């Protein structure tokens, strides 16, 4: 951990490392709303998509299958849902402490997420964290192909920070985070917030089961922060 945390910029995925965005407004409900919208537009929806519980997966399918104007409509609907979800999201234990600890040590913090930037900004503002996070790289509008695992948003954050990819580390709780980090030349910390992820994140440089591990490494009194 000492060679990855506290050296260069820290890139955080949002849903997982920072909060559980759909804790108060469940993702399956949001996905069902998107499916209903597609149905109202008389879109032929495959069975696996019809029962999809991840709204981002529904948006990705729409972007690959439907006309751009319908993808934009779905994007607007999802952005509105995420904006509300952010207001009732549950903070991840030690997620806020990681942001504050990095700031205290002068470590730049960015958020790189497949969620919308407006929802991320709203959450960070509501929790008095917005001043400590820049840039915020959210989902490219109506262009779900650029969501992680595409490395483009990770590289956007690296460029905005004026950093070299090799000096940065991305913390994420999904395989798409790890794949995007690898493709961008950024180190990866896999946040295994489910037991099955521990083995699944074998490609990460480090696997943690609590954001507290990073918070401790960033603590001014931690031996790791003085390495």
Give the CATH number, domain containing residue 174.
3.40.50.1000
Q: Dump the DSSP string for the chain.
A: -TTTSSSS-EEE-SBTTTEETTSSS-HHHHHHHHHHHHHHTT----HHHHT---HHHHHHHHHHHS-HHHHHHHHHHHHHHHHHHHHTPEEPTTHHHHHHHHHHTT--EEEE-SS-HHHHHHHHHHTT-GGG---EE-PPTT-GGGSTTSSHHHHHHHHHHT--GGG-EEEESSHHHHHHHHHHT-EEEEE--STTHHHHTTTSSEEES-THHHHHHHSTT-GGGG-
210 in the same domain as 197: yes
**Are residue 139 and residue 58 in the same domain, yes or no?**
no
User: Does 179 reside within a domain?
Assistant: yes
Asked if 169 and 206 touch (Cβ cutoff 8 Å), the reply is no
CB atoms within 10 A of CB 13: 23
Question: Where a domain ends, among 63, 87, 111?
Answer: 87
Q: How many residues does the chain have?
A: 227
2 occurs within a structural domain: no
Does any domain span residue 209? Answer: yes
User: In terms of domains, do 118 and 180 share one?
Assistant: yes
Residues 70 and 176 placed together within one structural domain of the fold: no
Tens digits of residue pLDDT in 144-154: 999 999 999 99
Last residue of a domain, one of 35, 67, 87: 87
> Do 141 and 211 fall into the same domain?
yes
131 and 198, same domain (yes or no): yes
Determine, yes or no, domain membership for 69. Answer: yes
The answer as to whether 64 is a domain residue is: yes
> Is there a single domain that holds both residue 33 and residue 17?
no
Within a domain: 203: yes
Same domain, 122 and 14: yes
In a domain, 3, yes or no: no
pLDDT of residue 226: 40
Q: Do 157 and 172 belong to one domain?
A: yes
Report the percent of the chain where pLDDT is more than 90: 93
Output the pLDDT for position 112: 98
Stretches where the chain sits below pLDDT 70 are: 1-3, 6-7, 220-227
Query: Are residues 50 and 151 both part of a single domain?
Result: no
71 & 105 share domain: no
pLDDT computed for residue 1 by the predictor: 67
In a domain, 5, yes or no: no
Q: What is the pLDDT of residue 219?
A: 82
State the SS3 of 119-162: HHHHHHHHCCCHHHCCCEECCCCCCHHHCCCCCHHHHHHHHHHC
How many domains does one find in the chain?
2
Structural domain harbouring 72: 27-87
CA–CA dist 123, 21 (Å, integer): 9
Residues 119 and 192 in one domain: yes
Instruction: Please state whether the predicted TM-score (pTM) of the whole model is above 0.85.
Output: yes
């Amino acid at each position: 951990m000492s060679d990855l945390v506290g050296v260069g910029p820290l890139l955080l995925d949002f849903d997982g490392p920072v909060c559980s965005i759909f804790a108060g407004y469940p993702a399956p409900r949001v996905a069902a709303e998107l499916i209903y919208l597609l149905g109202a537009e008389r879109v032929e929806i495959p069975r696996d998509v019809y029962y999809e519980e991840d709204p981002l997966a529904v948006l990705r399918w729409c972007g690959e299958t439907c006309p751009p104007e319908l993808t934009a409509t779905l994007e607007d609907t999802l952005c509105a849902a995420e904006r509300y979800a952010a207001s009732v999201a549950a903070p991840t234990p030690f997620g806020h402490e990681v942001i504050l600890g990095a700031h205290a040590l002068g470590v730049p913090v960015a958020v790189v997420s497949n969620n919308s930037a407006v929802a991320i900004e709203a959450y960070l503002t509501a929790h008095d964290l917005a001043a400590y996070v820049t840039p915020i790289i959210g989902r490219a509008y109506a262009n779900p192909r650029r969501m992680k695992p595409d490395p483009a948003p990770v590289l956007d954050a690296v460029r905005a920070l004026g950093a070299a990819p090799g000096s940065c580390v991305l913390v994420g709780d999904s395989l798409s985070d790890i794949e995007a980090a690898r493709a961008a030349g950024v180190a990866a910390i896999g946040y295994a917030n489910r037991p099955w992820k521990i083995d699944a994140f074998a490609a990460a440089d480090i696997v943690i089961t609590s954001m507290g591990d990073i918070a401790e490494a960033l603590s001014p009194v931690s031996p790791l922060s003085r390495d």
